[in-house]
Each structure stands twice: as C-alpha cells, then as structure tokens.
Structure 1
Amino acid sequence: MKINRRHLMLGAAAGAATLAMPAVVGAQQARIIRYTHYQPGRLDQPKHAAALAFKSTVEGLTAGRIRVDIFPAGQIGPAQQVMEQLRLGSLEMAVVHDGGIAGVYAPYQAFSLPFLWENQAIAWKVLDGAFGAEMAEDMRKKVNIRLFAHADNGIRHITNSKRPIVTPDDMRGLKIRVQPSPVFVKLMETLGASASAIDWGELPAALSQGTVDGQENGVTNILAASLYQSQKHITLDGHVYSLHAYMMSDRFFNRLGKEEQAAVLQGVEVAKVIHRGMTAAQDANAEVILKEKGMTVQRLTSAQIDAFRQRAQGPVREWLDKEIGREWTEKLQNATRRAQEAA
C-alpha cells in the first residue's frame, strides 16, 4: 500500500512540475516568493517535488500575481542564516529541518525527545492538532515567523563506517555527526558516543575524510547526499521522528491580500501531502532501499529498541526541561498520549 502511495505522490509531483510555468500576466508586477529548501533540486527528492507543487498551485491560483522562485540545496545559506532572514522579513519562505529551527525558536527542540512517536499516524495527529497549532502561534508571536505545516525529515537512524550497532554499548567510542542542535548532542552523548555538530553541507566531506565515524539521519537524507558511499552500517533504531517545517515571514504574509493568503495556504497543503507521502514511503522501505545501496542493515527488535529508549529518553527529557522549560515537553507528551488512545 505504501509503495502505491509513493507512486501516487511521485505522479502528483511530476504533474505539478509539468504545470509549473512563469506568469504571463503582469509579470513585472508579480509579487515574488523566494522559497528555499535543503534537498537537491530533483523530482525524486520530497522537498523539491513538494516545492514544485507549491509553485504550480500558488502561481495558478493567483493568475501570476505571485511568482515562486525555488532555491534548492541550501542555495540561500545555512539553516540558521535562513531562519534569521525569515525572522527579519528579508526572506519570504523556507522549509527548514528541526535542528535549524531550534536555533531561533528553542521550544522546537521538544520534538527531538527520543522514541516519542511509534509511527507517522500518531505524529501527524499531534502535529496537525491543537498542540501543533499552539506552538505555531507561539512561534509567530515570539520570532515573527509563521509556521504553516510540518512534514517529514525522515525517521532518524544511526549509520557508521566501523561496526554493526545493536545495543547502546556498541555506540561507545564512535564519533557521530549531529545537526547543529544541542539536544542532538545530548542524545548521542547519553548513548555513549562522542557527538560533533556539523552543518549539513559539510557532512559528506566529514564522513569521507574520517572526521567523524558516523551520523544519524533518515533514508531521504542518506539518499540525497549519497551518504551510503562512506557509511557501511545502519541501525534502524528510529530514535527521533525528524521534521521539516513550512514557514514564511509573518511580515510578508500579512502584506498579502486574502485571496493570495488563501493560495499560499492551499499550496502548503498540497506540498505537505506530497512531501509526507514520499518520505513515509522511503522510511517504510528503508531496509530494501539501503541494502540495494550496499549498506549492512540492522533491524532491531522491540526489546532492543527499548534498551536504547531506557538509556536516552530520561536524560534527554531532563535536559530539555532545563533548556526550554517543562511546559512544552509535558504538553507534547500529553498530546502524544491522547493521540495514541484515539488510535
């Protein structure tokens, strides 16, 4: 079923790309949305397929009054810089990963609590529900960034070039790259590894040169940067359900007319569905995909995963409570429990 959904989403994305065209009416007067993301500019990449769908939807609904210019692969700059530009209103729109968001809006780190969600269905109930809306409004008020929606950055797994990992003790002595977010440093340290915060653009070189032994990412990002070329082993532990957020400068959004705002919101909804579907399909087929790339895959049992959870979740929760306060972690875990009970 998930493979069929993947085909559906790829087809939708390809159709969106085919329909995308520059505005022909009043092109010189068109309002421009510069839209940046961090995956390669290819249709097999969820972020870019979704970006093309957003462009097609918004330009079509506004009859060219808005033009969307897409800058893939981090062309505008690193995540922290992009977040600052959104906050100041000097950039219109971006889709940024969780670690980059946390540098400007610290409560977003709550989503990095390890082993929080069992599956995508639970995650989406929390993200699309009252908790997600409350955090989005808090973010808008505090940093002037409008958070429209969340999509998948992939379920994060641990890769390395040294040895198979099946227990937390196997992590000892490994140098693991994490995204520039303190909570990820804390997570890897609780598992016994040495953590190095390295920006996404520098990761392939850090792995190939042996600066670090391994890293942690979802299937989509492993494929996007061809990390399998320097990483022999992957452990499907699923320690964090990683996120991308669709965000816009609040100043820019408020300058749009009601019909233009509606077009943006509809474009985000279309993009979100495509983005989630493609990434979820890759996550569901992680073992097959990565074995085909030559990686040795360790699929853990529930008991083995629980050993990682017992080692990491408590210390990371304690750290998060000190860094961002108990309010957000408690609300997130309560929202998760409600979603689980309703499932």
Structure 2
Amino acid sequence: MTRISAQAAVAAIALTTIGAVSAETIRFAHVDPAEWTQSKKGAASQVFKNLVEAETDISVELYPAGSLGGETELIEGAQDGSITVAMVSGAYANFCPAAAVTDIPYTFPNAPLAWEVMDGEFGDALAAHCLEQTGLRTLAYGETGFRNFTNSVRPVAEPADMAGLKFRVQTIPLYLEMVRGLGAEPQGIAWGEVPTALATGVVDGQENPISVIYSNNFFEFQDYLTLDRHVYGVDHILINDEFFQSLDSEQQAAVQRAAIVAGTTGRAIQQFGSADGIAKLAAEGMEITQPSAEQMDKFRAAAQPAVQAYLRDELGSDAVWIDRLADAVDAAQGN
C-alpha cells in the first residue's frame, strides 16, 4: 500500500482545490457520538470531509453514532459498497484475524511508539494482508487509546495486587485470558449492566479507556485507577477498494491524504481526552497509580504468554503476525 508522509499529509491542508474528472459521493460511517467536537472518530470524519471536498468534486456524507449499524455492520457495508468508508476498531479482527495481534496486552509501551509501528512497515504490511482478505483498503490508522483498570478494593501497582479481584471484561477470549494471567477473575458482563455490577459489588472493577471511565461516571463506584495501559486500541480507516480503484489518481491521492490527517486528528483528540479525563478523575477523588517500569515488566510477563498462546492457536498460519509485531516494536525501541 502506498503511504503518504506525515509532512505531505499536513501540507494537504494548504493545497488549493484540485478539479476531479467526475463527481462521486463517499458515505463515511462510524459509531462515535454525533457531536463531532467531542468525538475522536467524529472529528476525524469531519476533517476527512473538509479536506476531500476542498480538493475534489467528491462529496462526503457523514453517518455518525452507529446510524448505519454497529462496527460489524459498518464493515460489512463497506465490503458490499453500501458504505464507502468505515472507521472501526476491534471488530475488524473478525474479518481480518491478523489485526487482533495489536490487542496483545502490554505490546506498546506508549502511544508515539504505537504510531511509529502502525504508520511504518508493519502497518503497511498488515494493511496489504487485510486488503487481500477483506477487499477493504486501509487508508490510515487512528486510535481508541489505551485501556486501564479500575477497582473499588485497593490500589493495584503490579499483578500480585490483582489476586482475588473480579473484573468485568468484554466477552472476548483475549481479555479473559489476560485477566486470568494477571491473577484476577474475569467476568463477562453486558455493557448495559456494568454500572449496576460495579455499584452492587458483583465485580470489583473493570477496564476501559480513560474517556469511557470518566464519561460513564465510574468514579462513583470505583476508588482506584491503575494507569497500566494494558491494551492499545487501533482505529482502522477503511475504504471499499473497488470504489477507491474507480477514482482517478488525483482523487485517490486526495482521499489518502485526507485520511492520514483524519487519523492524526483522531489520535490528538484521544490524547487530549485521556489527559483531561485523568485530571478530572483525580479531582473526583480517585487514587491514581502509575506502575514503575519494573512493575510494568511484571504485568507484561504475567499477561502476554496466555494471550499469545491463545492467539497462536486461533490464527494458525497467521500467527506469524504475532512475531512480526513484536519485531517491529523491538525495532522501534532500538532493541
């Protein structure tokens, strides 16, 4: 997949309008809130729309807040062409299983390193592989951010502190294996039931990105936040490849540039939301623990083996992507 440099992407904002051979319409869908100034995917989609419409005769229609379905439906719609562009996260692994490797816990130590890996050779190779499997071209990557643990019992600074605690997780084997590996008890509970489960003590804690923890008022039920950053969520900006190939070269370049700026915008909104959320959670009285580098190594050593073993069984020949990601992370760290 041809990638555009970050400098070229930013420069696209200043380009004058470029005429297109013919007018087209892009239907861009995501599940984030409709109020785009408060939404990473919403802000990304609005930026994409503005840039594409400034450079081409293509019009962009936005469909936020799951108005065209959940992430699975959006991906299916992008495959059949009823949706042109879908910005999705975890559900993509159901269509391109190799994409699940980015959810291996404690893989990315920080966001800038994750960006370097996803915007580099590994991300390009994964995109090409998934294009073959799905017919969807990855235009760019954004992020849903790091997930962190909260609980109502005690501060958690290392895996030993999690012993005996019950954590609500998504009913996804990767998350179940991760929590078991850390010595706690995972509980698969539907999202709508989480506040009640936390308030009544059915579970001691849960895990989510900072913005979700704050926006759902989990501080009302949880006293302790651990900034362990166990899973880094990737957003995929996907386009129906048949549609993309129908565009002329100038349109393709404009769409690609716009998507890269959109992904960068989503990352920035997410980073701001996390910083803002941490400050607000502290103000609400949550005790916040940032594990040391040594403690983070303990989390990694406890959680990764079981998850990697599960994924190797699930992925079969695609398990090579586990090692390709680990090698890319090591290279980015200079190891």
Smaller-chain TM-score range? 0.7 to 0.9
| 1:43 match: secondary structure | helix
Give 1:39 shift.
4.4
Give 1:330 shift.
0.8
Alpha carbons 1:153, 1:243 under 8 Å: kept = yes
Distance 2:70 2:63 in 1: 16
Amino acid at match of 1:337: D
Q: Aligned residue for 2:54?
A: 60
| 1:231 match: secondary structure | coil
For structure 2, which runs of at least 5 residues remain unmatched after alignment?
A: 1-9, 14-22
Alpha carbons 2:181, 2:303 under 8 Å: kept = yes
What TM-score do you get using the length of structure 2 for normalisation?
Answer: 0.82
| 2:334 match: secondary structure | helix
**Residues 1:334 and 1:314: Cα distance change in structure 2 (over 3 Å):** same
Q: Aligned residue for 2:326?
A: 333
Q: Aligned residue for 1:299?
A: 290
Give 1:80 shift.
2.4
What TM-score do you get using the length of structure 1 for normalisation?
Answer: 0.80
Aligned counterparts, 1:175-190, within 5 A: 175-190=166-181
Give per-residue Cα distances to partners, 1:82-106, cap 9 Å, x unaligned: 2232233332222212x22222221
Aligned counterparts, 1:127-206, within 5 A: 127-197=118-188
Query: Which of 236, 253, 258 is the aligned partner of 1:245?
Result: 236
Distance 2:267 2:158 in 1: 30
The yes-or-no answer on 1:93 pairing with 2:85 is yes
Which one is further off, 183-192 or 208-217? Answer: 208-217
Query: Which of 9, 30, 42 is the aligned partner of 1:48?
Result: 42
Give 1:206 shift.
5.7
| 2:105 match: secondary structure | coil
Give 1:211 shift.
5.7
Distance 1:93 1:308 in 2: 37
For structure 1, which runs of at least 5 residues remain unmatched after alignment?
A: 1-11, 17-28
Query: Which of 254, 263, 266 is the aligned partner of 2:254?
Result: 263
Alpha carbons 1:146, 1:247 under 8 Å: kept = yes
Percent of counterpart pairs with the same letter?
33
Amino acid at match of 1:271: A
Distance 1:208 1:249 in 2: 43
**Residues 1:34 and 1:50: Cα distance change in structure 2 (over 3 Å):** closer
Aligned residues: 313
Distance 2:85 2:196 in 1: 28
Give 1:148 shift.
1.6
Distance 1:334 1:263 in 2: 32
